[in-house]
Amino acid sequence: YIPEKGLEVLIGIARFWHQRATYTNNKNQYVILGVTGPNEYENNVNNNFYTNYIAKWCINYAVENIEKVKQEFNSDYTRILNKTRLSEAEIKDWKEVADGMYFPYTEEHQVYLQQDGFLDKELIAVSHLDKKQRPINQHWSWDRILRSPYIKQADTLQGFYFFEDHFTTEELERHFDFYEPFTVHESSLSPCVHSIQAAKLDRMEQAYTFYLRTSRLDLDDYNKEVHEGLHITSMAGTWMSIVEGFGGMRVKNDRLVFEPRIPKQWDGYSFKINFRNQVLKVKVSQEGTQFELEGNSELKIMVNGKAVTISPHNLIKV
């Protein structure tokens, strides 16, 4: 797909981010102004960490694939360069933006800031809010919400979710502990990401609490809006909390990786994954984890850092 159609899309995306960034003499870096990040309780902010990180990644990913197509699909490379009028000089300009991207950071807290000026807000934890004022978007004026530190759904932490391998566990823990106390989780998109990250940090009680919130969002009408319809996002988030959170499933280096955990409240859970046209059944209990493969060839996976080879229709216990 990349040499046929995808690279043209990546070039367009890189061009967008290149023109969207602004060079500032004040910082001697590139900034992105006037954006809204994942947090829907913020509008028109400067240097949203998530947005700047996505921009940098998109440019680098485009450059990486341009080089790959050049090496492996040279005729497509020539065709695409002619069609898009792409030059080495333009690619160099992209790299300059990506390499010089600015990310707001506080040495005091040792975390990336959600956006410029976040520390200017009155940083009062969600736990101090009157429960009768929740959800805040049903009780507060919009200007009050914008002046507050409250985060509707994962913002900076959303970046840590997508780019987990770019950060250490210690960095994740610092950012989680800094931002979660200001997060009201008044979006169906929020609890599942926090459940997955809490499980990653081996905080299973917290992970389970967030799992309950995403799985029972509409059943218990947490956000007092179920009359408007059900949230498919929280349904998907329930699956994610179990598979990616408790099951610790990731795909790394084109291989399935698991770090299974289980809440103390449960006897067990199970799920199936269709990976490369083979169905892998995973069953986790308090005693351990079982894997069974429905397929025609063996599958190599990683479980808690150890390589495991599963043969078709053969039950493996770990």
Q: Give the residue-averaged pLDDT of 297-308.
A: 97
| pLDDT at site 191 | 98
Give the DSSP H or E segment for 214.
Answer: helix 204-215
Beta-carbon-side half-sphere exposure of residue 216 (alpha carbons within 13 Å): 8
Residues 194, 183: contact at Cβ < 8 Å?
Answer: yes
Residue type, 186: E
Instruction: Specify the domain boundaries for CATH 1.50.10.10 within the chain.
Output: 106-246
| pLDDT tens per residue, range 128-184 | 999 999 999 999 999 999 999 999 999 999 999 999 999 999 999 999 999 999 999
- Evaluate whether 111 touches 175 at the Cβ level (below 8 Å): yes
Q: Please, where are the H alpha helices in 73-115?
A: 74-84, 88-99
> Tokens for 176?
């989680």
Cβ atoms 124, 97 nearer than 8 A: no
Which among 164, 211, 209, 219 is positioned nearest to 192, based on CA atoms?
211
> What would the pLDDT profile of 8-25 be if each residue is shown by its tens digit?
999 999 999 999 999 999
HSE toward the beta carbon, residue 163, CA cutoff 13 A? 18
Where along the chain do the CATH 2.60.420.10 domains lie? 250-317
Fold for domain 250-317? Maltose phosphorylase, domain 3 (2.60.420)
- 298 catalytic, yes or no? no
Tally of CB atoms within 10 A around 245: 29
List, for residues 57-92, the tens digit of each pLDDT value: 999 999 999 999 999 999 999 999 999 999 999 999
Query: In the structure, what pLDDT confidence band is assigned to residue 295 with cuts at 50, 70 and 90?
Result: confident
pTM value is 0.96
- CATH for 106-246 is 1.50.10.10
Distances (CA, A) of 276 to 42, 166, 207: 40, 25, 29
- Candidate list 4, 8, 40, 88, residue with the active-site label: 40
